Structure 1
Amino acid sequence: MDQSVTRATAAAVERGQLHVVLVLAASTGGIGAHCRSLAQGLVAHGVTVTVCAPAGTDALFGFSRTGARFHLVDITPTAGARSDAAAIGELRRAFTGADVVHAHGLRAGLLSDLALRTAGRFPGLRPETPLVVTSHHAMLATGLDRRLQRLMERRVARAADLVLGASSDLVARARELGASDARLGPVAAPPMPPGTLDREAARAKLLGGRTDRPVVLAIGRLVAQKSFGLLLDAARGFGPDAAVLIAGDGPEADDLRERIAAESLPVELLGYRTDVPDLLAAADVVALSSRWEARSLVVQEAMRAGVPVVSTAVGGVPELVGDAAVLVPYGDAEALGAAVRELLESEERRTALAAAGKLQAQTWPDEADTVAQVLSTYDELVSRQA
């Protein structure tokens, strides 16, 4: 048992009484990977873990293989009276006998709160069960959607016994909205599996045998937050021979594909990929054009792999990378293009940044640190209820 787990929680674990429920909406990336890491670490500490998530999530992340119980709850991306009522009912069943509920994201937090606060007539379900909410994303909607999101944010921030922000700006936001307790809760990137190809083989596979072209790699969901349109704006500035590869899928795929074809841009959409280690092995630079990020999983993977990073200076990225990456203002395609081109033209600079990135990565909390911190917060909440 980790020393950060105090006697109250340790005793509960030993009696088999500590039961934690993790709740998340559909995820194909960082949130799902974090929850899997958390589930595995908690189970290793003897905690009973239930994961509540939509269909397909268990197959993608393997929660059941960690020793956690998987409880199917269809948490939809947007509100709906019928779907929300069904999700709340399933959450009530999953929460029965729980000592802590830990929701990840705004929708999961809101529905978890509603399930707990309307639990009076359900035997074994305690309305006072502590609710932890991890905030992974900034709310970037506009107009009416923005006002509705702010109302939900405020409700969740004030309802939670503890809000963990994945970056400092999210912690500040939770406090601004009235959270009684908000703290930094960094999300560690799980270690990547080893690649199957060396650099030359990976480049040959991606470039059709022409391995002398510089490769600029971007990875992420094709959604507005990632601002891949900005990357396309900057692509011509990377240099005449640069191959720009974007791995990921999402609702903006068709629009991006049409623009690439219409403007004859040196960009290829690779679709959803599971061979990220091989993609990183082939890359000369990883580019991040996002409007906002917390602790970008892609940035962490790239720097650990020794691939230089150029990123927009948004959200938690500056505190994550320190001086070990090149940061440019968001929205400035010219600056993004110039920064990438400068790196592609200087092997010495790329080598220096690759080394700096690996050193910076050693300062980040790993999965064990993250699990220990979360267990410590559970301990506080459980002790208050004792």
Structure 2
Amino acid sequence: MGSVDETAAPAPLRILVITTGLKLGGAEQQIAALARAFLALGNEVAILSLTQGREIDLPAEVQVTELAMRKTPLSMLSALRQARDLVRLWRPDVIHAHMVHANLFARVLARTGHMPPVICSAHSAREGGRLRALAYRITDRWCAMTTHVSDAGRLAMVASGAVPEGRVIVMPNGIDTSRFQPDPPSRERTRRDLGLGPDDRLVLNVGRLVPEKDQAMLIEAFGEVSRDLPKARLMIAGDGPLRDELAHQVTRRGLNHVVLLAGARKDIPDLLRAADVFVLSSRIEGMPLAVGEALASGLPVVATAAAGVSELAGDTATLTPTGNPQALASALRNAIASLPGTESERDRRRQRIVGRFDVNGVARQWLAQYRSLRKQR
């Protein structure tokens, strides 16, 4: 009788991802990055989106189904039927949901019949109010595992009563360090395209224009920076419901010549290479991908101490209290005054991300979790 080859590569997995949506956002970008990594490691991926519309780039090999679910009982029942049919046809080994609505949907789906293990991943330190925490707690037993991208977020979920402490673990975001890395020719080309001169200092913020990201506080802080450093420029790359309000704020403060609301961009790696400093102004985060991408690009980072930032950056970033424009302005002035910095400083920032948060390593951690749950099932 032949012996089993214990060194053989594990069998590939079929991974069904359920997401609230596929718009431009940190969680959505993480889903895309993990999908690329899973495929590169020989697995199959399908994505089920509760809502319509796709703004992120996904590999052609990924099967995408959009449910166009609305907040009505009939629409939700129809979406559950479609999801169940997809599971029966595609036969995934594991279902991995991301973000609160998809997490709750996947848990209810698990109750509709025999299903593979369901994992639910939270991406924000504030998943919602008391009703969402109660919904999480009631449905907790319907999933095999709940994860959060940061320990601060995990503790917040436990404190809210959403999940028992022993039922949630930390699985960090992964950064595609092959896309986000220093590239001097790209830097020069992008700066030239942006009309930046050699003495201009570009401060970059990337994020949705929503209250949680607090770009209003950032604009207030940058107004102070601009008075002292007239060559400083601020670009905010992102779109959202606060765009008009922020544009009015920029005009009201007389900052149109130094602050650019650049809208949603698909050239973030190039913008990071063109920038001199990255800034995060958020009140609420889980583990901000943009900070990791900036560090992987070698950039100095000034960030508010939102959940997950210190876990991601360690001592390679300057942290300030949330909601404090004076502290943020002071830290930005110091960061700009310290430019251009040394090559060893840039390398240390990049190695912080490469060594701990590279997406390929994180994808392998996920695959190990999937296989463990499948074996238990």
Give the shorter-chain TM-score range: 0.7 to 0.9
Residue 3 of structure 1 corresponds to none
Aligned to 2:150, which of 167, 172, 191? 167
Matches for 1:172-187 after TM superposition, within 5 Å: 172-176=155-159, 177-179=162-164, 181-187=167-173
What's 1:93 paired with? 85
Contact 1:95–1:101 (Cα < 8 Å) also in 2: no
TM-score by length of 2: 0.86
Alignment match, 1:204: 192
Q: Say if 1:196 and 1:357 are closer, same or farther in 2 by CA, change over 3 A.
A: closer
2:303–2:317: 8 Å Cα contact kept in structure 1? yes
CA contact (8 A) 1:216 1:285 kept: yes
Label 1:9 to 1:155 Cα distance change in 2 as closer, same or farther (>3 A).
farther
1:10 to 2:10 alignment = yes
Show the 5 A alignment for 1:103-182: 103-119=97-113, 126-127=114-115, 129-139=116-126, 146-176=129-159, 177-179=162-164, 181-182=167-168
- Pick from 267, 277, 283 the counterpart of residue 269 of structure 2: 277
What 5-or-longer segments of structure 1 have no aligned partner? 1-5, 120-125
Q: Distance in 1 between matches of 2:301 and 2:28?
A: 24
* 1:56 and 2:50 are equivalent in the alignment: no
Cα offset, 1:339, TM superposition: 0.3
Pick closer, same or farther for the CA change 1:250–1:300 going to 2, 3 Å: same
Letter in 2 for 1:70: V
> What is the letter of the counterpart of residue 56 of structure 1?
G
Q: Distance in 2 between matches of 1:192 and 1:51?
A: 22
Residues 226-253 of structure 1: per-residue CA shift (max 9 Å, x gap): 1101101201222331211111111110
- 1:35 maps to which residue? 31
| Counterpart AA for 1:335 | A
Deviations 1:364-386 (A, max 9, x none): 2322211211111111211122x
Matched residue, 2:96? 102
Deviation at 1:40, TM superposition (A): 3.2
Query: How high is the TM-score relative to the length of structure 1?
Result: 0.84
What code does the residue aligned with 2:246 have?
L
Say how many residue pairs are matched.
Answer: 358
CA gap of 1:209–1:283, structure 2 versus 1, over 3 A, is closer
Partner residue, 1:238: 225
Assess, with a 3 A threshold, how the Cα gap between structure 1 residues 25 and 9 changes in structure 2: closer, same or farther: farther
Distance 1:7 1:353, change over 3 A: closer
Shift of 1:303: 1.0
Q: Distance in 1 between matches of 2:216 and 2:295?
A: 24
2:174 alignment partner, one of 165, 184, 188: 188
* Structure 2 segments unaligned to the other structure (5+ residues): 1-5
- AA in 2 matched with 1:163: T
Counterpart in 2 of 1:311?
303
